[in-house]
Structure 1
Amino acid sequence: MSPNKFLLSSVTLAVLTLISQAQAADTAAPDQAAAPDAPAAAPAKKDAVANELQTVVVTGTAASRGVRKLDSSFSITTVNEEQLKAASPSSTADVLKLSPGVYAEATGGQSGANIEVRGFPSGSDSPFVSVQMNGNPLYPVPTLSFFEGSSAFRLDDTVERVEVLRGGPSTIFSDGQPGATMNFLLKKGTETPEGSVRFTTGTGELRRVDLFYGGKISDGWYGSVGGFYRTTHGVRDSGFPADDGHQITGTLTRKLDQGELTLYARSTNDKNAFYTGVPLISANEGRSISAFPGFDPLKGTLMSNEMRRFTVEAAPGKTLTYDLGDGRGLKATVFGAEFDQKFAGWNVSNKFNRFDGDMNTIAMFTGNNPLTMGAYKAQAIASANGNAAVLAAAGRAATSATATFSSGGAPVADSTQVVQAGLWAVEKQMKSFTDELRISREWLPNNTVTVGAYFANYTAADTWYLGSSHLMTATPNASLINVKLNNGVVVSNNGKEGPVFFAPNASYDGSNTAVYVSNEWKVNDRIKVDAGIRRERQSISGTVSKLVTGDTDNNPLTVYNNDTSMPNGAYTALSRKDSATSFTVGGNYKLTKDSSVFARANSGHTFIAFDTLRNAGTQANVDDRNQNPTPTVKQFEVGFKTVGQLYSAYINAFHTQFEGIAFQQILSNGTILNSVSGSKGTGVEFEVSVRPVKNLTLSLTGDYQKSTYKDNPDTAGKLVQRQPKLQFRFSPTYRIPLENDNELKLYGTYTSIGSRWADQANTQYLPSYHTLDLGVLLQLGEKVEVRLAGTNLNNALGLTEGNSRLTGASSGPINARPLFGRAIEASLLYRF
C-alpha cells in the first residue's frame, strides 16, 4: 500500500467532515450565528492531587481520547511542562531519567544517547525506545547505526507534556514498540490566548530564548507557534560552540462537531557536539575511577580548535573537509496531522506524519588507552619494521623516531601522555512517512472493538568514513602530534596516524504494513479487560558498496594513509521480508474510586534493520535466520495504582523473556564483532509521592531488576550490559506561599545509579554513582517566573560508558565517558 493511499484516507475524512461542519454552520439560526463569543474564564488553580486524579493518557490506548491514568492497565509515566523544566534535562533522552525502568546515557550531548529498557538486551543507541510526536513515530525505526530516535527531537516550550509507556499494549498500536515509547504532546491553541518568552543563561556561555504563542484564530479555528534559538560552548568547552541552532513549530486546529483536526509542522536546524570518552585512571579492576593527571574529567574534552576542521583522505585525489562543530546535528522538517471524529456511533481517527532530515555525525571517537610518547614511538618503529612493503620502500629499518607538535613544531617529550582518537564522518539522509488509521465502535453494551492499520515507508542514504585516527596529547583541548622515523617513514602527518578503515556508502528502502484488532470490555463498574492482536509485515532492501583497500598517495612511506578503505564502484543488492504476530491481554480492577490493580501479558517483536543488510554482506547471510533472527519478547506485569491526599503510588512487578537479538561492536582497529543472545529479567518499578504536611511533597522513583543473558555460551548467566540492578531518584519539593499571589518553590533530586557492566562478557566494570540537583523557582503572580537550577552539584565522577572500542578489562590509564560536571542555569519567563 502506498503512502499516498493512506494520506488520501486521512485528508478525505477530514475534508468531508469540514464540509459537513460548514453546512451545519450555514443552516444555523441567525441569532446563533451572530452570537458573540463568551469571554473565556480564567483557568482555576488546582492542587497537585486534583491534577493527578484527572490525568488522562493517550499513548497505548485504543481510544484516541485516552483513558484516565489511574484506570489504565499498563505502566506509564506522565511528565507535565513544569516537571520537565524542574528536571533540567540535558537532552531529549535525559527526560527518561523521570521514568523508572529506563536508563538513559545522555553524556554524549544533545544527540547520540544510549538508552536501556528494563531487561531488554542492547549495547548501544536505543533499539527499544520509540520517540513519537503527537502519537506518531518521528522515524519508524527507533535505531540505526549513528541514529537513535531521541536525536530527532528537540525540547522547547511548545511541548505540553510527555508520556512514557513501558511495554503494555504498545506492541499492538502504532509502530508496535515492545520496549518504551516516548510520546511528546504539543501545545495547541485554545479559547484563552496565551504566550510566553523565556530567556536562559548558564554554564558554558549558554544563551537561549524560547517563545510560544497560541490562541483562537476565528470560530472553530485555533493556532499556535513557538520555538527556540540557542548557542552554548557546553559544560565541556572545546573552544567552539557545542550547540548552535534553532527550531520553530506551528499547529493549526479545527474544532469539529464531535471531532477535531490538527495540522502541525516543525523545522529544526541544530548543531550539537558529540562527546565520547576522556582519559581516566582505573584501579581495583575498575572499581575505583579517578582523574587522569592534568585532565578534569567533569569538564574537559579532547576536542579543540586545532582539530575542529579536519580532512578525510577518501581516495586517490579525493580529500574531504569536515567540521567537528557540526557534531551529531539535526536538520529536518516534520509535517503531520491528527484527525478524530465520531460518525453515528463510529469513532474514526487517523494520524500521519512526514519526516525529512539530515542526521549526520561528525565526531571524535576515542581509540586505544593513553600511553607515553616514548611507548608510542616504540610501537610505531616495531610496526613499520614489521611491514615488508614499508621496509622495502625505506631501504633500511628504523632505529629512532621524532615527535613534534603539529602547531609550532616544538619537540614532544617521551614522557608526554598521548592518546589516539578517530575523527569520523557519517553523512545520513533520512526520510519517512507513517500513517495509522483506527475505527472503533461499541458493538455490544460496554464492549468496544477497534480495528486499525499502520503503514510506514522509510529510506536512508549513508556515506561513512570511519577511522582517520589522530595522535594527540592526553590533555583538555588536545594538541596534534607529528611523528617521523629516521628511515623516512611518516607515521603521523598533521596528527593523522591512521587511514579510513571502513567507508561504505549505501542506500536503503523499507516499508512496514500492519493490521490489528483490539477489544475492550467493561465487565462492570470495577472490572475492565482488553485484548489485542497485530500482524505486521516488513520489507527492506538496500544497495551497499563493495570495498577495497589502497594507498591514497601511492607512497608506502606515508603509513598513515596506507590500507585506506574505499568503494570500488560495485554494489551488492540485498533484501529481506519478514512477518510477525504480536498480542496483548490485560485487565484493571478498581479497588476504590481512585485506586486499582492491573495485570498484563504481551508478546512483541522487532525486525532486522538496514544495518543487518550492510553487516551481512551477502544475500545468503541476510537470509540466515540463525545469524539474523527476528527477535521476540514476552512481558508479564502486575501493578497497583492509587492517588490520595496523603500519598500517590504506581508500583508494578515485571518479567521479560527475550529471544534472539544480534549485537555489533566496532573496535578501534576496524574489527567488527557480532553475536546473538537472548535474555530474561525480573524486577519492580516504583513511583511514589508522599505529602506529609501541606506544601511538602517527597517523591521516590526507580526500579530494581536482575536481567541476565541466555542462549549464548559466551555470555549466558552474565548480567545484561549497562543496566544497573538498582536505580532511584528522591525528589523533595516545598512550596512557600508569599504575599500578593506570589510563590517560592524549593526542589531537588538525589539520584543513585547502581554499578553496571559495560560489556556483555562482564569484564568492564562501571561503578555506582550518586548526584545531587537543586533548584528554586520564584513565581511572581501569574506572569513572571524566575528559576535557578543546578545539576550534579556534587561533581560526581560517574561513568556511563567504558571504552567501547576495546574488549576486556583495563587498569591504569583508560578512556571512558563520565557525567557532565556541575552546571548552573538561570531563566526568566514572562507570560502574556
Structure 2
Amino acid sequence: MKATLYLCASVSAIAVAMPAAAQTTTADPLATAQTTTATGNDTSADQAAAQATLDAGKDIVVTAASPGRSRFRSSISVSQLSQDAVRDFTPRSEAEVLRAIPGIQPQDTAGPGGNSNIGVRGIPVSTGGSEYVALQEDGLPVTLFGDMNFGNNDYWLRFDNNVERVEAVRGGSASTFASQAPGAVINYISKTGDKPGGEIGISEGLSIRETRIDGDYGGRLSDSLRYHVGGYFRTGSGGDHVDYDILRGYQIKGNITKDLAGDRGFIRISVKRLDEHAPTNTVQPSIAKIDGKNVSDFQPLPTFDARTGSTYSIYNRSFQYLTNDGQVRNANVEGIHPRVFSIGGQIHYKATDWLTIDNNFRYSDISGNFTTQFLNVAPTSSILGSTVNGGVVGSLRYAAGPKAGQTFTGPYVNNNPNINVFMRDMGSIANNLSLAAKQNGLGGTFTATAGWFHMSQNISQEWHVNPQISELNGRNEVPLDLFSTTGRQLSVAGQTGFNSNWGTCCARDVNLTYTDDAPFLNLAYSGHGLDLDGSVRFDRVSGVGTALGGVTGPTVTVTDALGSAALPSLVAGGPVERINYLKSYTSWSLGALYEVGANTSVFARASRGGRFNGDRRVLGGNFNADGSLNAQGQSTAINFLEQQEIGLKQRGGFSGGSYSFELTGFHSKLTEVNYDFTRINNPAPNNNPNLSNGYRAYGVEFTGNVSSGRFRLTADLTYTAAKITSSLSDPITAGNRPSGIPQFQYNIQPSYDAGLFAIGASVDGQTNVASDNFNTYFIAGSTFVNGFIKVRPVDRLELGVNVNNLFNTLGYRTGGLGFTITPTSGLFQNSAVYGRIVTASARFRF
C-alpha cells in the first residue's frame, strides 16, 4: 500500500526526477569515448554533427549537478561513456565498465555476478563493496548503501542495450546531490525512445562457452507518446570455463513517456526485471616471484591456472546446510542470483517560465541468493596431523568423482568455506522531489533548487558459512573427506561442520530497515562567463530491526558416498541484538567555474560529505539493549570525506579535427571507523576487525579525446599519492600506503572507423599496489589489451569480433601472498583478470 501511494504521488503530483534524473539524450562529443560510429558506412556526417553540438555547448550533465549545465560549464569532474564505446570492449562485469572513468579505482576481477570493490580518489575500500561510490539507474540509487554485507550495489544492475550512456561525477557535488556517495555518483541513463529504432544481436563465445542475445527498440506511438523496451538473455560458463551453465538469466527493461503540451515536460513510467545466476570469484591462486617486498612474475600452478580456473565444479553443484531450526537442507550453487522487479514513475513539469518541479520514484522488490565456493590455498601438510571433530587427521580422500575413496596426495588443498546466504529481502522505496526556480539578474541567471530525498532500504538475510575442504583444481575440483588416524570419517562431502567457518559472528540472521530522509538546497549563479554554486544536504538516517549471531547448535550426523560423520554446528540464536537509532549529519559543497574563452574554462570546488555506516555495524558491540547506540556506536556511525579540487577544461579544433580534455587536481581526506569480520581469521597483526584510520590522498585525473577524420583516441589517466595518516586500530600502519590503491592507472583507446569496417584497442593497466595496510608486500601491476574489429557488409548489419586480454596476461588488481614456498617464491591469492576471451557477434539495426 505504501508503495502504491508513493507511485500515485509520483505520477500525479507535479514533480520530476531530481536534477540528476531530468534526462536528456543529446549526444556529448566531449564525453570520454563517446562518439564511436556504428550505424552506416560514413562517419563524416556524425563527426560534423558532434562538432556542432560541441560548439553549441549542449552536453547537459544530468547526474549530481546543478540543473541545465553543460559539461563544459559545470564546476565538477564529469565522465560520460556512450553505449557503443562501452560495448566495443565487452566488459565482463559492471566494475569493468568503470575502468574508463578516471579517479575510480575498481577491483574488477570478481566476475559478472558482482561483489567488486569500487574505490575513488585514493580512498581505500576497507571492508568490501562500494563504500563511497553510489551506482544509480536513471538518477536513483540502486541500493542505499553500496557495501551491504552480501548485497553490494553491483549485484543488482546490468549494462545492456537499454543504456544510452554512463555518466560519472567524482567528488564535489556528489556529496550534496546524492546520499551515501561523497566520493562519486555513477549513473546508468536509459534510452527513452526519442531516437526511433532498435537493434537485435547475438554474440557467441569462440574461446568460452557463452551465448548472449540482446535486443531493444524505441520510438513514438504518437506525437506526444514515446517508448523504449529492451533486454538480454545469456547462458553458458563465461570466463570461468565451467562445465555447466553457471551463467544464465535475463534482464528486461522498458519505459513509456508522455511529453506534455507546450514543451512543459514529461511523465514517464519505467519497469525492470532482472533474474540471473552469475559467477563471482574470490581467489584464483598463482605462483609468484618474491624479491624483498615485491611480488611479481605470476605463473600458473600445475593444477590451477588463474586465467581460466574456478571453484565452480560439477562435483559441488550443491551442498548441504543446516537451518536455524536444525534441519539439513540442500543448496544449489548459483553464484550470485539477483531477482529484481522494479517500477518507477518520473515527472518533469515546467510550471512556469521560472519554476520547474521534478519527482522521481522507484519501488524495488529485490531478493536473491549468494551461493558459492570460496577459495583459500593451504598446504595439505597443514591439515594432516591437525585435530578436527575430535580426531587427528591421518588422510584425505576424494569424496566424489572417478577417484572417490582414493587417498588424496596433492600438495595443496582449498580450505575456504562454501557459503549460502539467503538475501530474503533487499528491496527499497526511493523518491526524490525537487523544485528549481530561476531568475535573471546582475547580467546572468540565478537558480535555486530545493528538494527532499527519501529512501527506505531493507536488509533481511540468513547466513550459512560452512567449513569445507576440497582439492585445489581449477577445473572440477572434488571435495575431500578427512579421516582420522584410526580410520574414522571426520567430514562429509568435504564439510567439517555447519555455519561455523568464521565463528559466532557469521551464523547470522538479520532483519533490518534503514531509512534516509534528506532535504537539500542548491544556489547557483551563471553570468559573465562565471558560474558559482553552493549546496547543502541534511541526512537523517534511522536504523531499526534485529540481528542474531551464532550459538552452539546440534551435532548432526550426515552421510555421503564414503560413509557418515557427526558434524558440529552453529545456528543463529541466543540474545537478540536490537537496532533502533537515528543519526543526522550535514554535507556541503562549494564550486566556481570561469570560462576563460569559448573553449577554455577553469574550476575549483571544495566539499565535505557524510557516509552512514549501515548493517556492517551490527553484531560488533555498538548497541545498548534497547537498540540505541552505545559510546562506541556513537563514535563510529558516520564517516566524513573531505575533498578539494581544481580543474581545467579545454576543447578546440585542428586541421579538420577536434580535441577536448579535462585535467583535475584533487585532495581527499577521510577519517574512517569500520568493522570487518573477515579479518578475524587472518594471521596477526592483520586480524583486528575494528578499523579506525585516517587517510589522505592527492592526485591528478586526466580525461581527453582526439578526433581526426576517421581516427579517434581517448585517454583516461589517474595519478594518486595516498597515505594512512593515523590509525588507532593498527598504529604501526601510520605513514603507509593504503592497500589496493595504485599510484598510476590508465585506460587508452585508439580506434579507426573506415565505414565498411572499424578497428580499435583498449590498453588498460595500473602500477603496483600494497597487499595490505601493513605494506607487507607490493603487488606488481599489469597491463591488459582488449581489441575489436567490426565489418558492415551491408547497411544496418554489423559483424564483429572482440578480444579481452589479447595477450593472455596473468595478472591481478590487488591481493596478497598466502605463504612462501621458497625464499624467492610464494603462493599468491586473489581474484585474477580473466585470460584471453574471444567472442563473435552479429547485430542488425532497424
TM-score (norm 1): 0.88
- Cα distance, 1:7 vs structure 2: 4.5
2:141 matches 1:142: no
* The 10-residue stretch of structure 1 (315-324 or 697-706) with the greater mean CA deviation from structure 2: 315-324
Q: Which amino acid aligns with 2:88?
A: A
Partner residue of 1:774 out of 773, 787, 790: 787
Partner residue of 2:519 out of 507, 515, 534: 515
2:378 matches 1:370: yes
For 2:710, the equivalent position in structure 1 comes to: 695
Contact (CA 8 Å) 1:370, 1:814: kept in 2 or not? Answer: no
Provide closer, same or farther for how the CA distance between residues 570 and 709 of structure 1 changes in structure 2, counting only shifts above 3 A.
Answer: same
Q: Alignment partner of 1:67: what SS?
A: coil
- Cα distance, 1:176 vs structure 2: 5.2
Matched residues in 2 for 1:250 and 1:546: separation?
Answer: 41
For 1:579, the equivalent position in structure 2 comes to: 584
In structure 2, stretches of 5+ residues that fail to align are: 17-41, 501-505
Matched residues in 1 for 2:489 and 2:54: separation?
Answer: 67
**Over the residues paired in the alignment, what is the CA RMSD in angstroms?**
2.8
Q: Alignment partner of 1:261: what SS?
A: strand
Q: Which amino acid aligns with 1:547?
A: G
Contact (CA 8 Å) 1:472, 1:495: kept in 2 or not? Answer: no
Provide closer, same or farther for how the CA distance between residues 788 and 662 of structure 1 changes in structure 2, counting only shifts above 3 A.
Answer: same
Partner residue of 1:433 out of 424, 429, 436: 429
Q: 1:21-420 counterparts in 2 under 5 A?
A: 45-47=46-48, 48-50=50-52, 52=54, 54-63=58-67, 66-110=68-112, 111-123=114-126, 124-175=128-179, 177-190=181-194, 193-202=196-205, 203-256=207-260, 257=262, 258-284=264-290, 285=293, 287-288=295-296, 289-314=298-323, 317-324=326-333, 326-344=334-352, 345-367=354-376, 369-372=377-380, 374-378=381-385, 380=386, 383-384=387-388, 390=390, 400-401=394-395, 403-407=397-401, 408-420=403-415
Matched residues in 1 for 2:109 and 2:524: separation?
Answer: 42
* The 10-residue stretch of structure 1 (744-753 or 69-78) with the greater mean CA deviation from structure 2: 744-753
Q: Deviation per CA, 1:538-564, whole angstroms, max 9, x where unpaired?
A: 001220124312342279xx9986552
Matched residues in 1 for 2:777 and 2:566: separation?
Answer: 32
Provide closer, same or farther for how the CA distance between residues 45 and 400 of structure 1 changes in structure 2, counting only shifts above 3 A.
Answer: closer
For 1:673, the equivalent position in structure 2 comes to: 689
For 2:531, the equivalent position in structure 1 comes to: 528
Q: Alignment partner of 1:147: what SS?
A: coil
Matched residues in 1 for 2:175 and 2:586: separation?
Answer: 10
2:762 matches 1:749: yes
Matched residues in 2 for 1:102 and 1:783: separation?
Answer: 35
- Cα distance, 1:300 vs structure 2: 1.3
Partner residue of 2:672 out of 638, 660, 663: 660
Contact (CA 8 Å) 1:113, 1:125: kept in 2 or not? Answer: yes
- Cα distance, 1:789 vs structure 2: 1.1
Contact (CA 8 Å) 2:452, 2:518: kept in 1 or not? Answer: yes
Contact (CA 8 Å) 1:537, 1:580: kept in 2 or not? Answer: yes
Q: Which amino acid aligns with 2:319?
A: F
Q: Deviation per CA, 1:394-448, whole angstroms, max 9, x where unpaired?
A: xxxx594463443343422535432213110111121111111111112452111
- Cα distance, 1:505 vs structure 2: 0.6
Matched residues in 2 for 1:334 and 1:402: separation?
Answer: 48
Matched residues in 2 for 1:750 and 1:278: separation?
Answer: 23
- Cα distance, 1:811 vs structure 2: 5.4
- Cα distance, 1:315 vs structure 2: 5.8
Q: Which amino acid aligns with 2:784?
A: T
- Cα distance, 1:131 vs structure 2: 1.2
For 1:685, the equivalent position in structure 2 comes to: 701
Matched residues in 2 for 1:247 and 1:562: separation?
Answer: 41
- State the structure with more CA Rg: 1
For 1:829, the equivalent position in structure 2 comes to: 843
Matched residues in 1 for 2:618 and 2:482: separation?
Answer: 39
Q: Which amino acid aligns with 1:480?
A: P
For 2:661, the equivalent position in structure 1 comes to: 649
Contact (CA 8 Å) 2:758, 2:789: kept in 1 or not? Answer: yes
Sequence identity (%): 24
Contact (CA 8 Å) 2:173, 2:589: kept in 1 or not? Answer: yes
Matched residues in 2 for 1:402 and 1:658: separation?
Answer: 48
2:739 matches 1:734: no
Contact (CA 8 Å) 1:547, 1:566: kept in 2 or not? Answer: yes
Q: Which amino acid aligns with 1:744?
A: F
Partner residue of 2:834 out of 808, 820, 824: 820
Matched residues in 2 for 1:399 and 1:293: separation?
Answer: 25
Contact (CA 8 Å) 1:457, 1:511: kept in 2 or not? Answer: yes
Q: Which amino acid aligns with 2:499?
A: V
- Cα distance, 1:619 vs structure 2: 2.3
Partner residue of 1:799 out of 799, 812, 829: 812
Q: Alignment partner of 2:493: what SS?
A: coil
Q: Deviation per CA, 1:277-318, whole angstroms, max 9, x where unpaired?
A: 123213314512321123222111132110111111346851
Contact (CA 8 Å) 2:284, 2:306: kept in 1 or not? Answer: yes
Provide closer, same or farther for how the CA distance between residues 594 and 98 of structure 1 changes in structure 2, counting only shifts above 3 A.
Answer: same
Q: Alignment partner of 1:611: what SS?
A: helix
Matched residues in 2 for 1:61 and 1:781: separation?
Answer: 42
Contact (CA 8 Å) 1:371, 1:813: kept in 2 or not? Answer: no
Q: Alignment partner of 1:302: what SS?
A: coil
Q: Deviation per CA, 1:615-671, whole angstroms, max 9, x where unpaired?
A: 336427943256524101111001111222242111100001112231414158598
How many pairs does the alignment contain?
Answer: 778
For 1:456, the equivalent position in structure 2 comes to: 455
Provide closer, same or farther for how the CA distance between residues 270 and 159 of structure 1 changes in structure 2, counting only shifts above 3 A.
Answer: same
Q: Alignment partner of 2:741: what SS?
A: coil
Q: Alignment partner of 2:13: what SS?
A: helix
- Cα distance, 1:366 vs structure 2: 1.7
Matched residues in 2 for 1:517 and 1:560: separation?
Answer: 63
Provide closer, same or farther for how the CA distance between residues 195 and 512 of structure 1 changes in structure 2, counting only shifts above 3 A.
Answer: same
- Cα distance, 1:460 vs structure 2: 1.4
Q: Which amino acid aligns with 1:468?
A: P
Q: Alignment partner of 1:361: what SS?
A: strand
* The 10-residue stretch of structure 1 (311-320 or 114-123) with the greater mean CA deviation from structure 2: 311-320
- Cα distance, 1:806 vs structure 2: 9.8
Q: Alignment partner of 1:366: what SS?
A: coil
Contact (CA 8 Å) 1:277, 1:803: kept in 2 or not? Answer: no
Q: 1:538-687 counterparts in 2 under 5 A?
A: 538-553=541-556, 562-568=567-573, 570-616=575-621, 618-619=623-624, 622-623=629-630, 624-625=632-633, 628-646=636-654, 647-667=659-679, 669=681, 673-687=689-703
Q: Which amino acid aligns with 1:67?
A: R
- Cα distance, 1:224 vs structure 2: 1.5
Q: Deviation per CA, 1:338-396, whole angstroms, max 9, x where unpaired?
A: 211111221111111111111421111123x3313x55322x3xx25xx8xx37xxxxx
In structure 1, stretches of 5+ residues that fail to align are: 17-41, 392-397, 737-741
Matched residues in 1 for 2:699 and 2:295: separation?
Answer: 25
For 1:24, the equivalent position in structure 2 comes to: none
Matched residues in 2 for 1:729 and 1:690: separation?
Answer: 14
Provide closer, same or farther for how the CA distance between residues 735 and 405 of structure 1 changes in structure 2, counting only shifts above 3 A.
Answer: same
Matched residues in 2 for 1:432 and 1:95: separation?
Answer: 25
- Cα distance, 1:248 vs structure 2: 0.9
Q: Which amino acid aligns with 1:830?
A: F
- Cα distance, 1:121 vs structure 2: 2.8
Provide closer, same or farther for how the CA distance between residues 802 and 293 of structure 1 changes in structure 2, counting only shifts above 3 A.
Answer: same
